[in-house]
Structure 1
């Protein structure tokens, strides 16, 4: 069972976490209109023209898929990922599972990514990734200054 931390969270977040945890105990039947396996991934991607044209055509021919994902918790992380991974290989360009964005997800009491700070400098530099997310003012200012000094 997944343990959801609640220390330091607002009452609204604790209620939301309790509802999400309870909903996992009684899952709803899968009403995926096409019966595809669902896939999830980053929404920070680069798509080729061929792949975009396939997505547009697919959505026109399968409006139930768009409706299905309009009720999803994080549709931006599953909608086109599900469509593309299930697509015939000859209709889209090859998929590369390479994310070029650094995000720190593994700190205690954080479920949605931790704002980057000076503790992330070495990992960020060593990652050789081109982008980073979860910079917040003022917590990330010292890190941004170190990055500026290093380039």
Structure 2
């Protein structure tokens, strides 16, 4: 069984090289780099020369919260399902890293073959502001304006406030009896991902309605799968460890060397968020441990 890793990256591109170096040849990488990211042609060429990098694209300009993030995932997924050897497909950001060795990850999915690892909960939910439905009920222009800029954030906030003030709401998202939300970081079987792609292709109204929806990538896959034959095989959690606290300037926390013991003890397979310079020493420790495990396993076999 091969594994496809769908990478969504926009900065710290060198981190992808660390990720790729940790895993063996059974892991194939499909990478989308934000079109607006300042990445040199030399880096792009070096990435494309990695034997495990199967597909590399810069098709979309990706703003946080915009629909283009979901489109980038679907773009990569469409390439991954073409390989019949791929058993599982994993979504990752450029701030993720495996915390288990290649062998441990593969053995986990051999034991759990056919299960779908994706977080889900019905909407509205107390986990999200205003239950999460405001993501769909108002026009959220995150693809038009970049929330990461001061002016972009002001324009987005002003647009939503205007709609609230005048009582403007979009038509209800009534394509499904119940909507579901959850993390965008999932591990799904190739057949399950193919089902999602087929449903979107056969019903273009779904993506059309998701335009101007805030973080649609945290709603679409969960909703489709919870109304599918795959519902009974879903394990309702993610395999990525995230520490939901404010540390090193971010929430969720940017991980650092002090988290190494926590990562070692965790049953999760992956972790985030890694950012530099705070995570540099931690990444070195993880690489050293996992590559040592791989070497030891290879020697013993």
Both proteins in one fold, TM over 0.5? yes
Structure 2 Cα separation of the partners of residues 94 and 40 of structure 1: 17
> What is the TM-score normalised by the length of structure 1?
0.68
Match of 2:235 among 93, 96, 99: 96
Aligned-pair CA distance for 1:142: 1.9
Structure 1 Cα separation of the partners of residues 267 and 278 of structure 2: 22
Flag structure 1 segments of 5+ consecutive residues without an equivalent.
3-8
Ranked by relative contact order (alpha carbons within 8 Å, sequence separation 6 or more), the top structure is 2
The reply on whether 1:83 has 2:227 as its aligned counterpart is: no
User: CA, structure 1 residues 124+73, in 2 after alignment: closer, same or farther (shift >3 Å)?
Assistant: same
> What is the TM-score normalised by the length of structure 2?
0.38
Q: Which residue of 1 aligns with 2:188?
A: 47
Aligned-pair CA distance for 1:83: 0.9
Aligned-pair CA distance for 1:11: 4.6
Q: Which residue of 1 aligns with 2:272?
A: 133
| Stretch deviating more after TM superposition (40-49 or 16-25) | 16-25
Flag structure 2 segments of 5+ consecutive residues without an equivalent.
1-128, 130-147, 291-301
Q: Which residue of 2 aligns with 1:147?
A: 286
Task: Give the root-mean-square deviation of aligned CA atoms.
Answer: 3.4
Match of 2:197 among 56, 75, 95: 56
Q: Which has the higher strand share?
A: 2
Q: Which residue of 2 aligns with 1:6?
A: none
**Count of aligned positions:** 141
Deviations 1:68-96 (A, max 9, x none): 22322212221111111122x3x667112
Match of 1:117 among 250, 256, 267: 256
Contact 2:255 2:278 in 1 (8 A): yes
Deviations 1:5-44 (A, max 9, x none): xxxx985587479659957896835521414322122222
